[in-house]
Structures are given as structure tokens and as C-alpha cells.
């Protein structure tokens, strides 16, 4: 099905390890986003991209890096994982006119850092 695909779905890391979360969309959307979801906190924006080759910081960017080398892919990296990064991570994408179309979300990656 067309949409946003996130890999992996689950991961357990040890403190200090690194990993990359992959987000792929096949809708030719210009804009892509990484959010984290924590109990009682809602969704918080980590980083976003307004087009291929561009990235920008969101609300909670510390400890994360991103890259958008291809329009359809948006990667989220953790260089040195910490227990505070235990969360569910959601990728989303959108057309430019957000007011008309909103976001399309992936199904999430549940990350546990021990």
C-alpha cells in the first residue's frame, strides 16, 4: 500500500550504541518529519525537512541527527543512545499546503534504550 513505511518496527539498544531509523514515502511529498511520542507528552517534533537535501531542527533535536539525501527517504540517527531516548518514533510526510492535506504517518518504531 502507498504511504509512509518505517523500519525497524522495534529495537532495543544499549546505552551508548548508535542506530539509524529509516522512513520511506512513495507519495512524492516534499515535506517529511520525525516525531517522538511519550506518555502524557503527546507528539514532539525532532527534525523536519522541506525538501531533498534540506533539514531543520524541531522542538527536541538534541541527541539526534537527520539526513534527506533522496526525496523519498528521511533518516533519523542516534549517535550515542541514552535511556531518555526510549520512545515511540513516528515519521510523517505532507504536501506543501498542510492546511489542505495534513500529514500521513508511518506506523512507528518502538525504541528501548537500556
Partner 1 sequence: GNSVTQMEGPVTLSEEAFLTINCTYTATGYPSLFWYVQYPGEGLQLLLKATKADDKGSNKGFEATYRKETTSFHLEKGSVQVSDSAVYFCALSRGAGSYQLTFGKGTKLSVIP
Check: CB of residue 21 under 8 Å from CB of residue 75: yes
49 half-sphere exposure, CB direction, 13 A CA radius: 25
Query: Between residue 12 and residue 51, which ones bind partner 1 under the rule CB under 8 A?
Result: 31, 33, 40-43, 45, 48, 50
- Contact residue for partner 1 among 68, 106, 111, 113 (CB under 8 A): 106
- How far is Cα 93 from Cα 104, in angstroms, rounded to an integer? 5
Q: Which CB atom, from 62 or from 100, has the smaller least distance to partner 1?
A: 100
Does 61 interact with partner 1 (rule: CB under 8 A)?
Answer: no
Judged by phi (left if over 0) then psi (alpha if -120 to 50, else beta), residue 102 lies in left
> Which stretches of the chain bind partner 1, using CB under 8 A?
4, 31, 33, 40-43, 45, 48, 50, 58, 90, 92, 94, 96-100, 102-108
Amino acid at each position: 500500500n502507498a504511504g509512509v513505511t518505517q523500519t525497524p518496527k522495534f529495537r532495543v539498544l544499549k546505552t551508548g550504541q548508535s542506530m539509524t531509523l529509516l522512513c520511506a514515502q512513495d507519495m512524492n511529498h516534499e515535506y517529511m518529519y520525525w516525531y517522538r511520542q511519550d506518555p502524557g507528552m503527546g507528539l514532539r517534533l525532532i527534525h523536519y525537512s522541506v525538501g531533498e537535501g534540506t533539514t531543520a531542527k524541531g522542538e527536541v533535536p538534541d541527541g539526534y541527527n537527520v539526513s534527506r539525501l533522496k526525496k523519498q527517504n528521511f533518516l533519523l540517527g542516534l549517535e550515542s543512545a541514552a535511556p531518555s531516548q526510549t520512545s515511540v518514533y513516528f515519521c510523517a510526510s505532507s504536501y506543501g499546503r498542510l492546511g489542505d492535506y495534513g500529514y500521513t504517518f508511518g506506523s512507528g518504531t518502538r525504541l528501548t534504550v537500556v
